[in-house]
Structure 1
Amino acid sequence: MTVTQPDVTVIIGAYEAMPYLVECLASVEAQTLDPARVEVIAVDDGSTDGTGEYLDEFAARAPMPVTVIHQENSGGPSGPRNAGLAKAAGRYVFFLDADDRLGPEALERMVAMADRAGTDVVLGRVEGVNRGAPKSMWHKTLERTDVFSSNIKFTLSAQKLFRRALLERHGMRFDESLFTGEDALFTMEAYLRADGVSVIADHTCYYLVGRDDGKHVTKSGGYALRFDSARALMRLIAELVPPGERRDQLMVRPFVVTLLPQFGPRWLTDDEEVRRHKLELAAPLMDAYWTEGVARLLKVHERLRLHLVAARRPDLLTDVVRFVRDKRQAAGLLEKNGRRLYLVYPHFRDRKAGIPDEVYLAGPREARPFLGYREQPADSFPRRALRRLRRLSAVRGLSRRDRPAAA
């Protein structure tokens, strides 16, 4: 009897997942992909609420092959996912959290997309149920894109379809030393190493479920873990992407999503010891990875806060954080005949503070709502050609005037 390789291995890490696990597994069972083309590897990570027993019951009746692994609690999602990866046989793997669920036809559509486009990673549209979900990458279905040409860097959760050959070729596994952000590290590496990424934007493939009891697979942990996560992701980006615009573009993600919240409203309630420690943890990251290129890509209040973190100026930072927390609107100051707009956040042009004007300079997107702002037009080819012709004409005119008069 010939054993056919499954198209996709669904890896489910489960910890204290009842009763959410019931709908999760029902969504797997309801998939339209032929059950013979699917395998499930479920890892019970030391649950005590009946999760392990329910997985065993599902394995006994499911239409597709199901392997259940029982292990002691590992403390995070990385261990169960790696245990599942070690046993996976599918051409693709999909990581499904036990408290979430798949959308109808999700596996069939994602596998078909990967096979048709020849891509190594497929993102299926995600919707939140009692919680938020990423939105900016679902504007358009893309058969082939990459992390530089789209907004996929803002969805680094592990709930994607990955070509298993890619993971095996690079020995990719989840970092079990990280207790938050481990999926961001894994997914960013996959994006950067992939031969193309696909995006399914017109069909919901995954429902991200907010639990009432707060017991998610991923534990939030303390602020120091967030710095660990940012450090690991920044280091990965620096290792795989040379310095320049493309690296700066990717660095926006860990700076804004992971690091900046530590210097948001919670900063105002931190005691002095925590504030000092946060600045100590941030210092080597700012020194190594904070560049003018990254700064230019941020909103003014984001750039200003991180500039003050880099400058080790907690005294000034507190005023800015309070201004942002209170949702106050910064006034706009127009200069250069309306072509330059500064947002007047605290300490703007305060000599004692010494913050450069450029930190407050708004980009076109922030500046457009202000009356009187005149956006500089793109430097199009006709404009460049016209300027060149004018320069050439001027040079020729000078050369004619310099010629000796005819006898």
Structure 2
Amino acid sequence: MPGLKVSVIVPVYNTGQYVDECAPSLLGQSLPADEYEVIYVDDGSTDDTPARLEKLAAGHPNVQVHTMPNSGWPGAPRNLGMEHARGEYVQFVDHDDKLGAEALERLYAHAKRNDADVVIGKMSSTMVRPRRLFRHTVDACTIENDELMQSLSPHKMFRRAFVEEHGLRFPEGPWILEDLAFVTAAYLKAERISVLADYPCYYWMKRGDGGNNTRHRFNPRHGFWPNCRTIVRQIKDGTTPSDDIDALQNRLLHRLYHVEVLSRAREPEILREDRAEQLPRFEAAREVALEEFPPAVREGLPAVSRVRAELLESGDFDGARAFAEHIGAVKARGEVGPLRWEDGCLTADITLDLLRGDGEPLVLVERDGGWWLDPELLDGVPGAGAGYEVRDPFRLAYAEIVVKDRDREDWWYPEGDLEVRLEPAGDGRSRPVASGRLRVDPERLAGGGPLGRGVYDVWAFVQLLGVDRMVRVTGDGT
């Protein structure tokens, strides 16, 4: 099969029926069958998965099946798949997910047009929120575009020569975060990275049995913390240290600190586990935070996240738990004006803010020429009696409108931005709000084309002071 454009690599283990559910999306691509191959690597399955794979291979000349002893993780099967790949590009797919029908054709064309080392296709999912990374198609960027860190799953297209040149491989065996290790290494080495956002390429599906067995919950027994340290050091080795909170290294490390470390000190985790189980996680996270992350990473966090970080790094488990209870009760509110049609667009004015657990707006208090965090959020937090100064109320703050297709799980982004500001609330208080105009053009919203027939919901996503929430926008003012 000379001149193959793409090799699709699929690690499988005891996949059973999900082989048959995923296969049509891989084998029914708009890219001609003689221009791509599908490489299944079975990681020592003990069910009927091998028989299902052999049946697929018998009926499709562009399907390969390779087997290996069980490694317990997808890294080794992916590496074996790369050894057998013949395509110019490789695309990783998990066995319980699906590709859009034109995904390979569009991704390959985008890669060739931009001479890209890595192409990130838009992801749709039943399990995750939309990502700003997929708001616009990007022809070429580098790791300087730190929004890339929003997408660290391996489900991307990589130039095979680029992977070989830099010796990129997944860690093998029970190595949690193996996808982060591979993808961050690729981002740091890539000269050109492209983003395809005008077509849903990859559908990250939730299994009916709750399995999704290539994705593992946090588990320190699988080396979570040593592996996290490895990835942090990988980023440090590939970037220049700086005390500037907006320097590249600190921006890249922000994601790991916020998602992998700080999550052990915030809701829901710190609230849903009993103390005996949660406290060791908290202490381990504290150790990694202090030893691996430069102070500028914490200093660059928005206000609420900085409070969490200071509680974590000071070892104040009870304070972090009390703070998490207050923040966990915060909800987003959307106030929508009358819906109307203007120039073919569904239009309405919208204002978003945050409500505390008691239903009152979350506010900042003006004091001594600065802004201080809503004192209700600090009630019961040891050592917080003097309050907490908010150095920059707009740090990493943003808000946006997204439209979701209920049936296909696709997210689309209307044009226009919402403005984040402080609105006076009386008595020296102001509430952080985001406001602007919702404009939905049904003829151009879906990647520049018309929306398909179906039911759509309008959602608002808001991140204020480090609190991120989604709220469904309706026409009745709620």
Q: TM-score, normalised by structure 2?
A: 0.71
Q: Label 1:50 to 1:362 Cα distance change in 2 as closer, same or farther (>3 A).
A: same
Retained in 2: the 8 A contact 1:97–1:217? no
2:375 matched to 1:344?
A: yes
Q: CA-to-partner distance for each residue in 1:189-231, whole Å, 9 max, x for gaps? A: 1111101110110011111111011221324244425434432
Retained in 1: the 8 A contact 2:146–2:252? no
Shift of the alpha carbon at 1:333?
0.9
2:125 matched to 1:72?
A: no
In 1, distance between residues paired with 2:382 and 2:130?
41
- Please list every run of 5 or more consecutive structure 1 residues that lacks an aligned counterpart in the other structure: 376-407
Retained in 2: the 8 A contact 1:348–1:357? no
Aligned to 1:363: 394
Retained in 2: the 8 A contact 1:341–1:361? no
Instruction: After superposing the two structures, state which structure 1 stretch, 209-218 or 170-179, moved more.
Output: 170-179
Shift of the alpha carbon at 1:42?
0.5
Q: Which residue of the other structure, out of 85, 90, 94, is the alignment partner of 2:87?
A: 90
Aligned to 1:105: 102
Q: CA-to-partner distance for each residue in 1:165-200, whole Å, 9 max, x for gaps? A: 121112111112554321111111111110111011
In 2, distance between residues paired with 1:281 and 1:326?
26
- Please list every run of 5 or more consecutive structure 2 residues that lacks an aligned counterpart in the other structure: 331-355, 399-419, 433-478
Q: Which residue of the other structure, out of 315, 324, 342, is the alignment partner of 2:327?
A: 324
State the SS of the aligned residue for 2:258: helix
Counterparts of 1:301-316 in structure 2, within 5 Å, are 301-316=304-319
Counterparts of 1:279-318 in structure 2, within 5 Å, are 279-318=282-321
- The sequence identity of aligned pairs, in percent, is 31
Q: Label 1:15 to 1:228 Cα distance change in 2 as closer, same or farther (>3 A).
A: same
Counterparts of 1:179-328 in structure 2, within 5 Å, are 179-224=175-220, 225=222, 226-244=224-242, 245-264=247-266, 265-327=268-330, 328=356
* Higher Cα radius of gyration: 1
Retained in 1: the 8 A contact 2:319–2:380? no
In 2, distance between residues paired with 1:147 and 1:370?
36
Retained in 1: the 8 A contact 2:262–2:309? yes
State the SS of the aligned residue for 2:133: coil
Instruction: After superposing the two structures, state which structure 1 stretch, 233-242 or 291-300, moved more.
Output: 291-300
In 1, distance between residues paired with 2:286 and 2:372?
30
Is the strand fraction higher in 1 or 2?
2
Q: Label 1:272 to 1:36 Cα distance change in 2 as closer, same or farther (>3 A).
A: same
Amino acid at match of 2:76: G
Aligned to 1:403: none
State the SS of the aligned residue for 1:97: coil
Instruction: After superposing the two structures, state which structure 1 stretch, 309-318 or 135-144, moved more.
Output: 309-318
State the SS of the aligned residue for 1:54: helix
Retained in 1: the 8 A contact 2:15–2:49? yes
Q: TM-score, normalised by structure 1?
A: 0.82
In 2, distance between residues paired with 1:5 and 1:205?
23
Aligned to 2:151: 155
In 2, distance between residues paired with 1:99 and 1:261?
27
State the SS of the aligned residue for 1:192: helix
In 2, distance between residues paired with 1:356 and 1:251?
28
Amino acid at match of 2:298: A
Count of residues in Structure 1 that have an aligned counterpart in Structure 2: 370
Shift of the alpha carbon at 1:82?
1.2
Q: CA-to-partner distance for each residue in 1:26-69, whole Å, 9 max, x for gaps? A: 112111222222122111122233221111111111142x2211
Retained in 1: the 8 A contact 2:302–2:392? no
In 2, distance between residues paired with 1:172 and 1:158?
12
In 2, distance between residues paired with 1:215 and 1:181?
18
Is the helix fraction higher in 1 or 2?
1
In 2, distance between residues paired with 1:133 and 1:348?
30
In 2, distance between residues paired with 1:144 and 1:53?
42
In 2, distance between residues paired with 1:178 and 1:231?
16
